[in-house]
Each structure stands twice: as structure tokens, then as C-alpha cells.
Structure 1
């Protein structure tokens, strides 16, 4: 039985990934602050959950030994959340990273997988942005993601397999839901307000269904060490404009949904190629943005998600504001 240590395992992606790993027979240890709820993960004999901070190296030293794989998901996610408290963001997203890598290395972890971001590229003119292109991050959040990639790569060896994933924006339903990501935001407004506000609209936003995101991590975990060591993989479904995303949402939720366009100063536009992970690992996405919208629609209809505009647990920045995390 493989043992895997996951930071941030009670987050949006982790809440779907951990049950899948348990189903596949892994022994999983999750370290998470649990600020978005403490009953997100299942009760399972092969799951150990630790409510704690990745900045606590004593906690890492105590719990990492015996694990073969470390999957590092924990971070202050996305630019607005990061900018709410930049010093907090730096301490978690950058300063805590190298100590985590060192503890992993010292305790004979064989593989370290890092969740970076496709935002590290910044704005590119090229149609397909590939993993070997220069990083031109526009924000500290993105810059620190890139910095961590370099730190991790400097520690790689035949006995310490390092892999970085650069996800597109994740969408769809999860046990720990986020409604502050573009497709999820649009779907929430379409379903309840029958109106979508699109700021700008021509910006490209690559998205990836949460199930595909999970499967990409599994593909890396299952891969032969020599083909993923030191590698970086983009993971995304398709590069669509915000207008196209809004249109997809409307087609699922209902033709009565009104789309209102307004001007925007947000010039961020991402268009990434996911050909490398397809060519090397044979991984291709199976789900579309419309699938994610359908999943959310189903969750809304079944009241799996309630008070969807005001519940702080669905919005990172609201929750962080309220708990005053330091």
C-alpha cells in the first residue's frame, strides 16, 4: 500500500482527490488548516487527518516520515486572496515551501508533486503556451508559484522524483466547493439570478474540470519515475474566452439567462497547451466546461449548496477576512 502525504487535502481539489486515492487503496495523510470545514473528508481507516499549518516544521517532521509521496496542494489560492494579506501569502506560498521539500527529502520521500499554476506565464502572444516558455508572472501570487518550481527542481535526483503541475482554472462541483472561480461564478449567477455579468469578455481563460484535474495527479503518481522526474506539465481542457464560457453556461442553464457585458481593466489572458502531458503520459481531459456546469446545476437543484452568494465557506477571500488568518 502506497502512503501519500497531502498538504491542503481538505481544499477544493483535495476534497475530491483524497476519496479517490482511498478508493484506489492508498494510505493518505492530510495536513490542512481546515478553515473551510472540518467534516469535508470521509471517515476512513486508511485516512489520517491533521489540523495544522504547513509552516510548522515540527509537525512536518512528525508526520512525513513513512510516506513515499508528498503532494503539495496547500496555498493561499488566487490573486485576490493573496493580495488580501501579502505577508501571509508569502509565508505560506513561498517561505514554507523549501522547508517542506527539505523535510521530505530528509525523510526518504521518493516523489514530490507540486501544484503550481498556469498563471505563471503571464500574458503571451503565442497561440499555444508550452511548459518551456519564459515565465512572466503578473502578480506576487504567480511569481512565488514560479519561484517554488525552481526551488523544487534544484532538489531533484534519481531518489527524489520531482514533478510540477500547472493547472488551468478548475471548475465543477466538489465536497469543498469554491464559487469564486470563473465558470462556477457564472453558473451560480445564471442559475439563481438568470443573468451573467461578463467583465470584458475577450480574455482567454483555460479551465479544467475537477475530475480531470484529479485524474492528472493520478497519472503523474502512476507514471514511471524516469519520465516525470524534473518535468512540468500544463493541465487544461480548452482555451476559451470569458464570452464563450458564458455562452456555455447559458446553453446548460437556460436560454432565458441574460448575458450583460461591461468593460474591464483585467487584462489577464491565458492560453496554454496541454499537449506535453498527453504525449508523455497519455493523459487527455475527458470532461468539458458544460459538464462542470451540469454538475453545479445538479448540486444547486438538490440543495447540496445553499446560500450560495453569502456563505463564506464558498469564497476564499470572505472566509480569510472573517477568520483573520495570520
Structure 2
């Protein structure tokens, strides 16, 4: 029985991944500040929730024992959240990373899986942005992701396997819902306001359904060492423009939804290829952006996301400001 430590497992992706791991009978420890609460997790004798700060290395040192696998999800998780407090972002996203990797290796962790980001590529003109292209991060958030990738690979050997995943923007319903990422934002506004605003519209935005994101982490856990050690995998499907996303939302939520368009000076356009993970790990997605919108629509209809326009629980920046995270 593999024992897995999910650092930052109390967030959006973790709230989907951890239950999926438990269904597969893994023993899971979640290490997190739990600023969004612990209620997203049902009691389970294979689950241990440990409240702690990823920067508290003494605490981490006592926690990382007898874990075969570490999945590192903890970070200030997108550019706007990071820019709210750059010092905080650097302390969580970069400064504590090397010591955390060193502790993991000393404690005989077998495999360390790191959640990077597809934003490390910056703006590319190539039609298919694959893992071997140059990295041109545009923000401190993505620059620190690049730095952490480099740091992790310094420690790779036959006994300490390192693997990096570069996800696109995650979308869809989860127990710890985020409503501050593009598909989820548009769906929330369409359902509750019957109107969505599109800034620009031609920019490409790769997305991945949260169920597929969870499936990828499970694939990275279960794949043979020779397939994953020292590897980087993109994880992004449905490279749709913002206009196409808005039209998909309208199709699902209702034709009465108005789409308002505004000119934008944000010309960032991302489009990534996920052929490598398909070729090497035989991974293919099962879910689309439309599926994500359908799942969210159902959640709204069943009142699983009350006060979705105002409650800080759904918005990283609002919650960080509310608790004055430092």
C-alpha cells in the first residue's frame, strides 16, 4: 500500500484528487493551511489531515516520514493572487521549495511530483507548444515555477524520482470550488446574471477538466519509473479561444445569456500540446470544457455553490485578503 503526501491538498485540485486516491485504497496525508476549511473531505480511516504551512520546514520534517510519494500542489496559484502580495508569493512558491525537496530526499521519498504551470512558456507563435520549447515566463508566478522545475531536477536519481506536470487552467466542479478561473467565471456569471463579458476574445486559453487533472496525477503515481523519472508533461486539452468558451457556456446555460464584448490589451494567448503524455503514458482526456460547464450548471441548480457571486470561499484573492494571509 503506497502512502502519499499531498502538500497543498486542501485546495481546488486536491479536493478532487484526494477522494479519488482514497477510492483506489491509497493511504493519504494532506498537509495544508486549510484556509478554505476541511469540510470538503469526508472522514476516512485512510485519510489524515495535517494543518500546517509549507514554509514551516521543522513541521514538514516531522510530517514527511514513510511516504513513498509526495505530490506538491501548494502555491499562491495564479498571477492575480500572486501579485496581491509578491513577497508572500515568493516565500510560498519558491523560497521553501529547495529545502522541501531536500527533506523529501533525505526521508527516502521515492517519487516527487511537482505541479508547475503551462504559463511557463509565455506567448508562443508555434501552433503546438510542446515540452521541448524554450521557456519564456512573463510573470514572477511563472518565473518561480521555472526555478522550481530546475531545482527539482538537480535532485533526481534512481532512488529519488522526479516528475513535473505543466497543467493548463483547471475547470469544472469540485468540493472546494474555484470561481476565479475563466471557464468557471463565465459559467457562474451566465447562470446567475444571464450575462457574460468577454475581454478581447481571440486569445487562446488551454483548459483541462478537473476530473482529468486528477486522472493525470494518478497516472503519474502508477506509471513505471522509466517512463516518468526526469520527465515533464503538459496537461491541457481544448485549446479554445475565449469567444469559443463563452459560446460553449451560452450553449449549456441557455440562449438567453447575453455575451458582451470589450476590447482588451491582454493579448496573452496560450496553446499547448499534450501529445507527449498521450504517447508515453497512453493518457487521453475523457472530459471537455462543455462537460465542465454542465457539471457546474448542475451544482448551481442543486444549490451546492450558495452565494457564488459574493462568498470569498470561491475566490483566492478575496479569501487571502479576508484572512490577511502573510
Normalising by the smaller structure, the TM-score range is over 0.9
Query: C-alpha separation between the residues in 1 aligned to 2:182 and 2:5?
Result: 29
For residue 122 of structure 1, what is the aligned residue in structure 2? 122
For residue 56 of structure 1, what is the aligned residue in structure 2? 56
Query: C-alpha separation between the residues in 2 aligned to 1:176 and 1:292?
Result: 15
What is the CA deviation profile of residues 184-203 of structure 1, one whole-angstrom value per residue up to 9, with x for unaligned ones? 00000110111110001011
Extract unaligned runs of 5+ from structure 2.
Answer: none
* Cα RMSD for the two superposed structures: 0.6
For residue 102 of structure 1, what is the aligned residue in structure 2? 102
* 2:143 maps to 1:143: yes
Deviation at 1:172, TM superposition (A): 0.3
TM-score, normalisation: structure 1: 0.99
For residue 228 of structure 1, what is the aligned residue in structure 2? 228
Query: C-alpha separation between the residues in 2 aligned to 1:5 and 1:250?
Result: 39
Quick check: 1:4–1:67 contact (8 Å CA) kept in 2? yes
Deviation at 1:38, TM superposition (A): 2.3
Quick check: 1:167–1:208 contact (8 Å CA) kept in 2? yes
Query: C-alpha separation between the residues in 2 aligned to 1:61 and 1:229?
Result: 24
* 2:148 maps to 1:156: no
Extract unaligned runs of 5+ from structure 1.
Answer: none
For residue 166 of structure 2, what is the aligned residue in structure 1? 166
TM-score, normalisation: structure 2: 0.99
Query: C-alpha separation between the residues in 1 aligned to 2:265 and 2:78?
Result: 18
SS of corresponding position for 2:148? helix
Query: C-alpha separation between the residues in 2 aligned to 1:40 and 1:190?
Result: 25
SS of corresponding position for 2:112? strand
SS of corresponding position for 1:305? coil
SS of corresponding position for 1:13? helix
For residue 319 of structure 2, what is the aligned residue in structure 1? 319
Quick check: 1:236–1:285 contact (8 Å CA) kept in 2? no
* 2:207 maps to 1:207: yes
Deviation at 1:285, TM superposition (A): 0.7
* 2:74 maps to 1:74: yes
Query: C-alpha separation between the residues in 1 aligned to 2:42 and 2:102?
Result: 30
Runs of 4+ in structure 1 over 2 Å off: none
Deviation at 1:266, TM superposition (A): 1.2
Deviation at 1:41, TM superposition (A): 1.5
After superposition, where does 1:1-326 map in structure 2 within 5 Å? 1-326=1-326
Quick check: 1:116–1:167 contact (8 Å CA) kept in 2? yes
What is the CA deviation profile of residues 267-305 of structure 1, one whole-angstrom value per residue up to 9, with x for unaligned ones? 211000000000000001110100000000000000000
What is the CA deviation profile of residues 116-153 of structure 1, one whole-angstrom value per residue up to 9, with x for unaligned ones? 00000000000000001110011000000011001001
SS of corresponding position for 1:308? coil
